[in-house]
Structure 1
Amino acid sequence: MFSFILAVALLPAAFSAPLTTCDRLTEQVQIQGRNQFLGVWTYTAESTNLPGSKALTKLFVDNVWGKIYPANESDSFYVFQVQKMLGRCFSVTSKLTLINNILHMEEPIHATEVLLATSCPDCLVLLSNYTLGGSTYRGLQILTKRPKLTQDEMDEFKRQAACLHLPSPTFLDSDKGFCTDGSASKDSETTDLTPVLSQAQPEYMELLDKLLSSQSGIKTLVQLIANNPTQD
C-alpha cells in the first residue's frame, strides 16, 4: 500500500533480532475455538508484501474496526469490517472456517490465516496467505480490543514483521474517529463493498493485481480514487 524494496532490504539490519526472539515471535499457536475471536476489534497495523498496498493505505485509509460474530456452523464465524477512507465509511463481510488450526476464507478472496504468539494480552496477530488474480501474497495483521497499542506492543509487531521478512508495518490512526456500525440500516452512510468484491470477475482481480504490482499502475489507482472520493 509504496516504495518498499529498500525498506525490506534494510529490515534485517534495523531489527537484528536474535534467532531465539524470531522463533518466539513467529511461533504458531493453537486456536482454542472461535470464541477467542468473537467481539469488537480495532485493526491497528498491517504488513504485507502486496506491492502498492502500503502506499494506498497511507494515502487513503484512516482506520479499521471489525465485529466478529458466530455463524450457524460451530467452527465458523463472520467478520464485519468497517474501514474509514477519505472521510467515508465502507464495510466488507467475510466468513472464516476453522480447519486443523487454520482459518479458511473463500470470499471475497481466497485466504488462509494462522494465529501467531504475542505478548499483548488482548490482541490477535494473524499471518495470512491470500490470492489476488494469479498471485499469492502474505500479510500480517494485529487486532486489539483497545483503540490503540502501547509503544512496546507496536515495537514487538515491527519485530514480528521483520522476522517474517515482511515490509515495515503500516499503523492506522484511531485518533481520527471510527465509523459507526450502520449495518442494520438500509439508509446507512456506510457503503457495503461485499457484493462488489464477491461478484468481481477473475479478469478484474487479475487487472487489480497488475495495477498494484507496478509504479504506473499504483499511480493510476491513486488518481482514480482521489478523483472520485464521493461517488456511490
Structure 2
Amino acid sequence: MMMEVVYVAVAALSLLSVGQSAPVTSCGTLIQPVVIQGRDQLLGKWIYIAESTTVPGSRLLTNLFGESAWAKNKAANESDAIDHYHVQKSFGRCYSVRSNLTLQNSTLYMEHPYSAAGTLLNTGCDDCLVLYSRMTLGKTVFSGLQLLSKRRGVSVAEKQEFLKQVECLNLPQPAFLDPEKGLCPDDSLSPESETTDLTSDMNDMMSTFSSRLGDLTSGLDTLIKLISK
C-alpha cells in the first residue's frame, strides 16, 4: 500500500501548465484563466517548484518522498496532442512516468494514468508555469495548483504570489521542492537509463487503487492526525 501512495504522489505532479504575465492585484486577477494561443508555449523542459492539492496527505508525502522533479513536453503527431515525460527524484533515485496530454479550448486533458483537466492561470512571473487542475481518482474529484519554472528557483515575490493564489482558491498549504539539491538527468532516450520507468506500473495500479481509495483516504487522514500531534 505504501508503494501505491508513492506512485500517486509521483502522479500528482504529472500534469503541466503555463501562465502569462499579469499584475498582482486581487484574487480575481490571480485566478483568472489564461487563453492558450497554441501548444508551442507549453513545450520544453520545466522544473517543479511547488504544489498544493486536496489529495489527502499529499503535502506530507511530497515533503517525505519528493526531492526534485521536472517534466519535458514534446509535440505529438496530432496538432492538439503533447507527449509528456515526468521525472522525479526520491531518496536519491530517479523515477519517470510518460503520459499524453490533449489541448482543447485552453484546457489540458489527461486520461492516463488517471483522469485530469487543467486550466492555466495568470502569473506575474515571466518564465513560470501555473496550473489549476481537477483530478479524478476513483469516484472522488480532487483539485490542485502547481508552480513550475524554467529556473531552479523563484524569487520571494514569486513565491508569495503563488501562496496568494493558493489562498484565493482555498487550497491547503503547498509543498515546496528543492531543485537546487539536484535534478535527475534527462536519459529518456538512453538504452542504459538509470531512471526507473513507472508508466506501466501506474496504469496497472490505478484500477486497483481507485477501488481502494476510500480506505486509503481514511487511513491517510488518521496517519496525518497522529503525526501532527
TM-score normalised by the shorter chain: which range applies? Answer: 0.7 to 0.9
Partner of residue 110, structure 1: 115
Alignment of 1:7-46 (within 5 A): 21-46=26-51
Partner of residue 160, structure 1: 165
Structure 2 SS opposite 1:199 = helix
Structure 2 SS opposite 1:65 = strand
* Structure 2 residue 100 is the aligned partner of structure 1 residue 95: yes
In structure 1, the gaps of 5 or more residues are 2-19, 223-232
Partner of residue 226, structure 1: none
TM-score in terms of structure 2 length: 0.83
1:73 to 71, 75, 78: 78
* Structure 2 residue 183 is the aligned partner of structure 1 residue 178: yes
Structure 2 SS opposite 1:68 = strand
CA distance in 2, matches of 1:183, 1:59: 25
Post-superposition shift, 1:111? 0.3
Q: Is the 8 A contact 1:51 1:214 kept in 2?
A: no
TM-score in terms of structure 1 length: 0.82
Post-superposition shift, 1:206? 3.0
Q: Is the 8 A contact 1:65 1:178 kept in 2?
A: yes
CA distance in 2, matches of 1:82, 1:107: 16
RMSD over aligned Cα atoms: 1.9
Partner of residue 136, structure 2: 131
2:216 to 195, 207, 211: 211
**Structure 1 residues 128-187: Cα deviation after superposition (integer angstroms, max 9, x where no partner):** 000112211001001111111111000100000000000111110112111101212232
Structure showing greater radius of gyration is: 1
In structure 2, the gaps of 5 or more residues are 6-24
Partner of residue 142, structure 1: 147
Partner of residue 14, structure 1: none
**Structure 1 residues 108-136: Cα deviation after superposition (integer angstroms, max 9, x where no partner):** 11000010000000111000000112211
Q: Is the 8 A contact 2:47 2:150 kept in 1?
A: yes
Query: Which letter does structure 2 place at the counterpart of 1:49?
Result: T
Q: Could you say if the C-alpha distance between residues 88 and 218 of structure 1 is closer, same or farther in structure 2, counting changes exceeding 3 Å?
A: farther
> Percent identical across equivalent pairs?
48
Partner of residue 8, structure 1: none
Post-superposition shift, 1:92? 0.7
Post-superposition shift, 1:41? 0.5
CA distance in 1, matches of 2:90, 2:214: 21
Post-superposition shift, 1:99? 1.3
**Structure 1 residues 174-205: Cα deviation after superposition (integer angstroms, max 9, x where no partner):** 12111101212232110011111122352323
Query: Which letter does structure 2 place at the counterpart of 1:191?
Result: T
Partner of residue 225, structure 1: none
Structure 2 SS opposite 1:141 = strand
CA distance in 2, matches of 1:73, 1:181: 24
Runs of 4+ in 1 over 4 A off after TM superposition: 216-219
Post-superposition shift, 1:49? 0.8
